[in-house]
Amino acid sequence: MTRSKTKVQGKRILLIVGGGIAAYKALELVRRLKEGGASVRVILTKGGAEFVTPLSFSVLSEEKTFTDLFDLKEEAEIGHIRLSREADHVVVAPATADLLAKMATGTASDLASTVLLATDKRVLVAPAMNVRMWQHPATRRNVTTLRADGIHFVGPDEGEMACGEFGPGRMAEPEAIVSAIARLLSEKQKGPLTGRHVLITSGPTHEPLDPVRYIANRSSGKQGHALARAALALGARVTLVSGPVNLPNIRGVNAVKVETAQEMLDAVLDALPADIALCAAAVADWRASAEAAQKLKKERGADVSLSLAQNPDILATIAIPGPQRPELVIGFAAETRNVVDHARAKRRAKGADWIVANDVSAATGIMGGDRTQVHLVTGAGVEDWPAMSKDEMAARLLARAAESLSSVRSAAE
């Protein structure tokens, strides 16, 4: 354990315990991870609870043990998403044939399988099952699929089983699982954007009128932050320039917090060069020509006139051809009418490569919500994407962006 301690020290491990006699070994796994300095949260499946109690894991982990997808309090806080995103690494031990099948087919029928479908972290599985089940063609197909999906395996070991048979199917020993976790945590995760710098703007800007009031909009920053998570998951170095939002920082992302459009432009220019720029912020078009030094007072019967000036155009500025221009510049267009026509015009006027456009009319619920429906406008035409979560849209868009950069590089070579 001493050698692995520094590699799991301070890491957050989410352990999913499947059903089977090997579930008792998961208690020892929790103990060893805690000794190594890791924090451990446990999801105990219904089958796993037939062999080990939730209380046993709670005592060892010093955390609540999670069992139910339909826990009212947890799911009011989107528990299955929170659990998957707050971990540094997800481990399934024991991973039964049933759990492997659910993972391979994308089934989400309980808390464990739903978390596995929602996670953006690397997953390590320690299979444990009867030798005939491990050797069955269906299990072999599932394992092949999971390996292709990037799932990591430790074991199974070969030996005598509780059922009396002998062969491969025994869960790897806790010490071997801890070593596998430490090894994966020490490896830099590679993806199609590894070595690339992705620059993202997010949220609104606040343009002060006086020390109390400001001009702003209803942007929540959820889409921009989803883009940052997606870029990070693909291996990119990510700079997120964000206006005032009520969202937590993203671990591993360089966050630059600003308030005004001018501050956002300055931060963006300071962050260049970048390979991809995604201008998802809803920047205020105007600011006060002169900010009042004192609070503007309301006087009975008197109207107040405001003199406004245009803010700098961040998207158009970074899209100007030159050595600092990112290879791929993507703008966002939040519209309430003639969405595609306005997006086409914006792409031409700003010099952007792509525009992601959507209808943010109040009836859509997109502004400030968790779902979106977009049109991707490129030089080749318009793609109408179906409704999906903002995280799903971000992952799809960044995958397309990575593919586009790869194609450009291949053509140049």
Residues 321, 327 contacting (CB under 8 angstroms): no
Has 313 been labeled as part of a binding site?
A: yes
For 187, 285, 324, 360, the CA distances from 351, given in Å and listed in that order, are 39, 18, 14, 23
CA distance 114 to 103: 9
Structure-token pair, residue 283: 């920047």
The sign of the CA dihedral 215, 218, 222, 228 is negative
The sign of the CA dihedral 189, 194, 195, 197 is negative
C-alpha torsion angle, residues 164, 166, 172, 175 (rounded to 10): 80
For 16, 127, 152, 178, the CA distances from 4, given in Å and listed in that order, are 21, 22, 18, 7
Has 323 been labeled as part of a binding site?
A: no
CA distance 225 to 240: 8
Amino acid at 368: G
Amino acid at 295: K
CA distance 353 to 315: 11
Whether 279 is catalytic is: no
Helices (H), strands (E): how many in the chain?
A: 15, 22
DSSP state letter for 362:
G
Has 295 been labeled as part of a binding site?
A: yes
The sign of the CA dihedral 262, 266, 267, 273 is positive
Marked catalytic residue, from 78, 138, 162, 163 = 163
Has 350 been labeled as part of a binding site?
A: yes
Q: What is the DSSP string of 220-260?
A: -SHHHHHHHHHHHHTT-EEEEEE-S-S-PPPTTSEEEE--S
Task: Tell me how crowded residue 306 is: count the other CB atoms within 10 A of its CB.
Answer: 12
Residues 200, 231 contacting (CB under 8 angstroms): yes
Q: Where in 32-184 does DSSP place strands (E)?
A: 39-44, 65-66, 89-95, 123-127, 152-153, 157-160, 166-170
Has 312 been labeled as part of a binding site?
A: yes
Structure-token pair, residue 78: 């989107």
Active site residues: 163
Q: Which residues are known binding-site members? A: 285, 295, 312-315, 332, 346, 350
Annotated binding site for CTP: 285, 295, 312-315, 332, 346, 350
